[in-house]
Amino acid sequence: MHPYNILALFFGLAYIALSLESTGLLKACAILVAKKGGSSTFKTFTYIYLLCLILSVLMGNDPVILSATSFLVHYSHATSMDLNPLLFAEFASSNIGSMVFFFGNPTNVVICEGFHFGYLTFTAYMIGPFIACSLVCFAVLWFQFKWMPVKPIESVPTEIQMEDVQQAVGSQEQFNQVEVEIVEESLVRVLSKVKRQSSASIKENALTDPFGAAVGTVMFLACVVVIIGASFVNVEVWLISIPFAILKALFDISWDLYRRYKNIPIVIQESRDSHPHKFFPTFHSKMQEVVPTFYQTCTRLPFPLISFLLSQFIIVQSLSFRNWISTFAYYMEFATVNLPTTAFVFGILTVILCAIAGTNILATILIAKTILAMNMDDKTITIASLVLAVGSNIGAVGFVFAASLAGLLWKGILVENKVSIANSDFAKYNMLPLIAMMLVGYLVVWAEVVIFN
């Protein structure tokens, strides 16, 4: 496993995907799907689940979470629809869909590199667990939110009860009944205006750059196709993703400059980094003004992942140097008495380590190194590596936000939108879907290895 190759591959694809997301394409899809759902919670839940599932298969989970999370909060406020099922449907489906292709999650790249999976081979094995986990997660999530009493998520209120106003204001002796009625009428007007603005923003925040979205889609698909083809001729895939990312960056700069020259309004999705920069503020503001698409995309790249991933590799290499990996491998061999036991032991261990080892990245690197150090036959290695792939993706739908970088990103966006989810609620709502996905996902992997190998 080569961390620099993994980072180069991931960042190349991440730039193209985030640049495509900045055109508003993903949010436009979400708006269209939400309109199809109408006032039915079940229809909206189903459409949002399917949309996030499909988009995460095609683009990975991070762009989907970046686009869909804020939209769902505003949509819920504007329509007074329950936010709980929509948010958890989005988060679960985004992490399930990311298991299909190698670019969906950094852990997939680690597994493909470490176990020398061809990208088409990896996808062929992942389709079965993906379908099984998608179906069972949808059923369990809807059953849970339909029949279980669910604590509402705390958020900014969109409605205020008039009785509360009367109680609060009427308790003050200096206010008479007429003044109370005036306050009530003012609040009604303000809240109605806020709700109309929220509804209008949902309608307006659609596709802001159709041409850029079309070019970005073509380039992303072309990059993925070339990478898959190059995997058959032993070409380092980062040598493909980086040139494609550079071409996309050059297009973004050229397209921004052209629109600026022609006085065409440039509207892109806002970056989460909205604070003024401490260093070189003039430079940042000028870049934001001249090449906003390129600049915003660069600011949204997961640069902390560089130090994070390298530190994870260093930790695992240190454990290997001190012979801890070989010690782990020795004891884990006792769990490989047969294929079903191997599947469930490594699968459950993966999910547990995602929650306690510092995200699914460290868990994947550590378990992958342990598997490679074990004395097992090819079939056992295959099933262990595949359940590691499944577990590292569904493990994000776990008991803590820090089980994955996607979980931390999701929580950060919710905090920015003044939505509070306690870690206990996060674990409670994810527990049943996670257990169900582990059961069916690992069973499908076992069946695939038995049949195909």
Angle formed by the axes of helices 359-373 and 405-416, nearest 10°:
180
- What is d(CA 136, CA 90) in angstroms, rounded to the nearest whole number? 15
Q: What is the pLDDT of residue 246?
A: 95
**DSSP secondary structure of 352-392:** HHHHHTTHHHHHHHHHHHHHHHS---HHHHHHHHHHHHHHH
- What is d(CA 297, CA 21) in angstroms, rounded to the nearest whole number? 9
In sequence order, the β-bridge partners of residue 420 are: 154
- What is d(CA 9, CA 32) in angstroms, rounded to the nearest whole number? 32
Per residue of the chain (453 residues), give pLDDT as tens.
677 877 888 888 889 888 888 888 877 887 787 777 777 788 889 999 999 999 999 888 888 888 788 888 888 887 778 888 899 999 999 999 999 998 888 899 899 988 988 888 999 999 999 999 999 999 999 998 887 555 555 444 444 444 444 444 444 444 455 444 544 455 445 444 444 444 444 544 567 888 998 999 999 889 888 888 877 777 777 888 899 999 999 999 999 999 888 887 776 655 554 455 555 667 778 887 888 889 988 988 888 878 877 888 888 888 888 889 999 999 998 888 899 999 999 999 999 999 988 788 889 999 999 999 998 899 999 999 999 999 999 999 988 998 888 888 899 889 888 888 888 899 999 999 999 999 999 999 999 999 886
Q: What is the pLDDT of residue 433?
A: 95
Q: What is the pLDDT of residue 172?
A: 46
Q: CA-based angle 86:348:304, to the nearest 5?
A: 60
String of b and e for 89-118 (b: at least 16 CB within 10 Å)?
bbbbbbbbbbbbbbbbbbbbbbbbbbbebe
- What is d(CA 438, CA 344) in angstroms, rounded to the nearest whole number? 8
- What is d(CA 421, CA 279) in angstroms, rounded to the nearest whole number? 33
Please provide residue 338's backbone torsions phi and psi, each rounded to the nearest 5 degrees: -155, 175
Q: Where are the beta strands (DSSP E) in 234-366?
A: none
- What is d(CA 24, CA 209) in angstroms, rounded to the nearest whole number? 7
Q: What is the pLDDT of residue 158?
A: 42
Q: CA-based angle 93:341:400, to the nearest 5?
A: 35
The tokens describing 73, both together, are 């909060």
Q: What is the pLDDT of residue 148?
A: 59
End-to-end alpha carbon distance in the chain:
24
Q: What is the pLDDT of residue 1?
A: 61
Residue 156, Cβ neighbours under 10 Å: how many?
A: 10
Please provide residue 152's backbone torsions phi and psi, each rounded to the nearest 5 degrees: -60, 145
- What is d(CA 64, CA 46) in angstroms, rounded to the nearest whole number? 16
Question: Is 420:414 a contact under the CB 8 Å cutoff?
Answer: yes
Q: What is the pLDDT of residue 280?
A: 62
Question: Is 206:27 a contact under the CB 8 Å cutoff?
Answer: yes
